[in-house]
Amino acid sequence: MTLEGVVFDFDGVIANSEPLHLRVFQILLSEEGLPFAAREYYERYLGLDDVAIFQALARERGLDIGGGRLQALIDRKTEAFVRLVHDRDVLFPGAAGCVRAVAAAVPVAIASGALLHEITGILDRADLLALVPVIVAAGDTARAKPAPDPFLRAVDLLSERSGRRLAPSRVVALEDSPPGLQAARQAGLRTLGLATSYPAAALHDADHVLPDISQVTVTLLDSLARGALAGGSRR
The pLDDT of 104-125, averaged and rounded, is: 94
Q: Is 170 helix (H, G, I), strand (E, B) or coil?
A: helix
pLDDT grade for 103, boundaries at 50, 70 and 90: very high
Element (H, E) at 11: none
CB 177 within 8 A of CB 46: yes
pLDDT digits (tens, 9 = 90+) for 5-20: 999 999 999 999 889 9
Domains in the chain: ranges and CATH = 5-16+90-225 (3.40.50.1000), 18-85 (1.10.150.240)
Computed over every residue of the chain, the mean pLDDT equals 93
Full-model pTM: 0.86
CA dist., res. 42 & res. 119, Å (int): 20
Contact 51, 70 (CB under 8 A): yes
pLDDT digits (tens, 9 = 90+) for 168-214: 999 999 999 999 999 999 999 999 999 999 999 999 999 999 999 99
The confidence score (pLDDT) of residue 234 equals 42
Q: Which of 43, 33, 69 is nearest to 54 (CA)?
A: 69
Could you give the CA distance from residue 120 to residue 62 in angstroms, rounded to a whole number?
A: 33
Mean pLDDT of 64-80: 93
Q: What is the pLDDT of residue 230?
A: 56
What pLDDT score was predicted for residue 232?
41
